[in-house]
Amino acid sequence: MSDDLFPSADVAPYTLPLNKAAFERAVTLGHGRAWEHAKAHGIEGHEAFVEHATLHSLAYDTQCEGDRAQWMVGLIEAAGALDRLAPRIIEGVATPPEGDYPFWHLCQRAGVMGELARRGYGGARSALYGLFDKSKTTVDLIGGHEIIALDGSDGLLFVCDALGRLLARDPDTCVDQQPIRVYDETHGDGAAMLVLESARGFNGDIARYLDRLHADEVEIEQSQSAKGPYLKLADVVFDEDAARRREGRYADRTLQNVLEWVNANRDVRYGGWLRAWGMHNASDDDLDGVIGAIEGASDPRAIQLLLCVFGRRAMPRITDEILALCRHDDEWVRRRVYQALSNCDDERVREVGLSLLGTDRVVEGAISLFEASYRVGDHEAIERAMRLVNDRDDLHRMLFDLVDVFETRSIPECRRLLMFVYGHTPCGNCRGKAIEIMRNASVLPDWIASEARNDSQEDIREEVGDGGS
């Protein structure tokens, strides 16, 4: 690793004011330095980009990281520019988002309108209500949370009435109790149903929504099936009983079933059920049989599927043939075997990992070979192998693997590598984990702790102490 790729632990790698490129990079990544710049120097010269970043989610993975509505509105407010920009942002909601998949941008816009409406900006409330919609493929709502948070029982009635009208147009529409949960979180269990039942008698759409919920509850009790899927992970209600049932759903599958499925589905890229079977249901003899099948297979499509069995469970034995797959011609075979061997604490796995550090394999997952097989001092070889790559997904994969290496071992020698992660990962979750690991190892630089108080990620701000964002 070149010394100019990562900062000093003692001195922040940036000075204020940020130039245009540095400011836009900071906003895109969610670094607190963007807030620091806005508070100290305003956003003159950056307003067009700030408007775009407010109306579009720039998070690497909004599903996991959440949107940045609160952070962006707060940044503009800290810059003293909200009175000037708010009308333009409200007007901008009417312009379709850029890109092929608008869902997350629309969710952020709803959050922004909620923030502006709470601050009393004219037009924000009506813009929020105009954004309300339901995902076409899941039970997710666009603007539902924000409307209920803003207007309480009136907002709840609006959302449930709208869902009832959707059901009238399309009886197959999937709905759930999400609006009820959101309202009850603030007003107490059962409060939402009191509001809705009082409206049932004179509002047929709300009655239709409530009747669907009752029908779905009966069906679920009978079938023990799961609710409809979510895109917003924050809306998922974890069910321990359902999780235990899922662990046993492949208990009747045999090794022969696995081999037959792989043979018949070679064009499938990923067999998620194979990983679940390997983790929860396969016996040691089953796993040994899968290893034998891998060693005897010649089709890379079959090999990479069979390796999925070991995605979350260590191989009972590691052979030279398995290790050789780390240099296979097929990229997906290599990626799968890296993941499989990441669960194995074995000196031979470590040696393969060290041999691959000087190659492009570090970008596709070879660093994960150190997850279980890391030895004290290996950080030096890994540091020398670090590089920046232009593709955000490749960069994220490499830095994600670095975080995984140190997540179970908070040791001081992690600092240089995790500072590299902090500065360059496009992912807010990885940035947050890097901070947490460094803090647990008592090596978190003061400048990172200070900057992170204004980070775009709420959990990061809480980790280090909120600086006002």
> CB–CB of 453/32 below 8 Å?
yes
SS3 402: helix
What pLDDT shows up at residue 242? 56
Give me the amino acid identity at 133: D
Sign of CA dihedral 61, 62, 65, 70: positive
SS3 422: helix
- DSSP bridge partners of 142: 133
Rounded Cα–Cα distance for residues 94 and 91 (Å): 6
What pLDDT shows up at residue 232? 75
Residues in the chain where the model's pLDDT stays below 50: 2, 218-227, 467-469
CA distances from 310 to 183, 208, 276, 341, 361 (A): 42, 47, 9, 8, 20
Dihedral over alpha carbons 384, 390, 393, 397 (to 10 degrees): 0
E strands, 309-362, are none
Main-chain dihedrals φ then ψ at residue 16, nearest 5 degrees = -95, 145
Among 388, 390, 420, 384, CA closest to 402: 420
Share the mean pLDDT of the chain: 93
Please calculate the CA angle 303-342-356 and round it to the nearest 5 degrees: 85
Q: How many other CB atoms are there within 10 angstroms of residue 112's CB atom?
A: 29
What pLDDT shows up at residue 245? 63
Tokens of 130: 């105009």
Dihedral over alpha carbons 384, 390, 391, 395 (to 10 degrees): 30
Largest Cα–Cα distance of the chain, in whole Å?
A: 73
DSSP-H helix ranges across 119-203: 124-131, 144-169, 178-187, 191-200
Domains defined along the chain, listed by start: 136-230 (no CATH), 255-464 (1.25.10)
For 328-361, how does the pLDDT look when each residue is reduced to its tens digit (9 = 90+)? 999 999 999 999 999 999 999 999 999 999 899 9
What pLDDT shows up at residue 220? 40
CA distances from 141 to 72, 168, 301, 317 (A): 21, 17, 38, 48
For 82-104, how does the pLDDT look when each residue is reduced to its tens digit (9 = 90+)? 999 999 999 999 999 998 889 99
Tokens of 243: 């999780």
> CB–CB of 247/282 below 8 Å?
no
What pLDDT shows up at residue 247? 64
What pLDDT shows up at residue 101? 86
SS3 335: helix
Give me the amino acid identity at 98: E
What's the pTM value of the predicted model, to 2 decimals? 0.91
Among 95, 128, 134, CA closest to 111: 128
What pLDDT shows up at residue 237? 63
Measured N-to-C along each axis, helices 103-118 and 144-169 cross at an angle, to the nearest 10 degrees, of 130
> CB–CB of 68/108 below 8 Å?
yes
What pLDDT shows up at residue 241? 60
3-state percent breakdown (helix, strand, coil) of the chain, nearest 5: 65, 0, 35
Give me the amino acid identity at 30: G
Q: How many other CB atoms are there within 10 angstroms of residue 234's CB atom?
A: 9
Q: How many residues does the chain have?
A: 469
Sign of CA dihedral 278, 281, 284, 289: negative
